Amino acid sequence: MKSPASVTPAAGAASMLLPVCLLLVSMVSIQGGAALAKSLFPLVGASGITALRLGLGTLILFVIFKPWRMRLHRGNLLPLLLYGLALGTMNFLFYQSIRTVPLGIAVALEFTGPLALAIAGSRRAVDFLWVVLAVLGLWFLLPLGHSLGSVDLRGALLALGAGGCWAIYILAGQRAGSQNGPATVAAGSLVGALIYCPIGLIQTGSALFAPALLPLALALAVLSSALPYSLEIVALTRMPARTFGTLMSLEPALAALSGMLFLHEHLSLVQWLALSAIIIASAGATLTSKRA
């Protein structure tokens, strides 16, 4: 019979394989959805896209997870509300950002939220290296103190705001998901939809209901909301928030590739190096956190 010490590492690796795979599928899906969303801006604008994504995504998630079966009480209501508010605001700010900022850069700036969460509380000397790399990457992506003509300052700040919401989304989602299960994502999406769907409707009007837009809107809802959020809420409840944040290190690269393939957005060598610095910082934090 094997000793517990000989079984535990393999069992631990196997238990992490599923959430890691779920996150990879989620990232590919959400970046493909982001490219589709940006291509639809001329039709309904960023606010309209937010409304379509949250509205249709919520309907799909309700069918899948049946959140009316959840048992809500004062102890789990606040994390759920925070999760939904962060989810909706993150989407709204991100879409406003990519109106003027290339997709890969916007995601890299947004990624500062989970990256800061991953590094927060670090006590080891090696973690200082990841902080330096992340700061260097941000310095060369943000149009501060140097000229990067393709990066709009307002759009960059909106992406950073979305990153702050992303960090709250991770923390609140982990707590709410552990209490309410996968149905959390449907209830949280409803909270976001109740806030941002009216805003999109007011700003866009009847264009949201154009029949020709419906198939694309459904694809957007599945790729950007229903599929990735369903996978993420499962992963969030199976790994620490810090690990979740650092495993998202591939997001900026996938976003840049998605922008290049589908939107013909080409980044400069300096911007690719800046993206790489953020990715390396995230991957390094992930590797060292396993031994922390």
pLDDT digits (tens, 9 = 90+) for 25-47: 898 899 999 999 999 999 999 99
Confidence of residue 270 (pLDDT cuts 50, 70, 90): confident
pLDDT at residue 8 in the model: 54
In angstroms, what is the C-alpha Rg of the chain? 19
Percent of the chain with pLDDT over 70: 86
Nearest residue to 22 via CA among 255, 257, 233, 290: 233
pLDDT at residue 13 in the model: 56
Nearest residue to 43 via CA among 222, 214, 196: 214
Average pLDDT over residues 60-76: 80
pLDDT digits (tens, 9 = 90+) for 199-214: 999 999 888 888 989 9
Q: What are phi and psi of 132, to 5 degrees?
A: -60, -45
Q: What is the pTM of this model?
A: 0.83
How many CA atoms are closer than 13 Å to the CA of 110, on its beta-carbon side?
32
More confident residue, 124 or 67: 67
pLDDT at residue 41 in the model: 94
pLDDT at residue 290 in the model: 52
The per-residue pLDDT of the chain, averaged, comes to 83
pLDDT at 1 over 70: no
> Other CB atoms closer than 10 Å to residue 165's CB: what's the count?
21
Average pLDDT over residues 128-152: 73
More confident residue, 179 or 185: 185
pLDDT digits (tens, 9 = 90+) for 251-269: 888 899 899 988 989 888 8
> Other CB atoms closer than 10 Å to residue 24's CB: what's the count?
15
Q: Which of the residue ranges 58-62, 66-70, 72-76, 166-170 would you say has the lowest mean pLDDT?
A: 72-76
Dihedral sign for Cα atoms in the order 116, 191, 90, 34:
positive
Confidence of residue 65 (pLDDT cuts 50, 70, 90): confident
Report the amino acid identity of residue 72. Answer: L
Q: What are phi and psi of 2, to 5 degrees?
A: -75, 145
Q: Are 51 and 197 in contact (CB under 8 A)?
A: yes
pLDDT at residue 242 in the model: 62
Q: Are 278 and 133 in contact (CB under 8 A)?
A: yes
Confidence of residue 94 (pLDDT cuts 50, 70, 90): very high
Largest Cα separation within the chain, whole Å, is 68
pLDDT at residue 246 in the model: 63
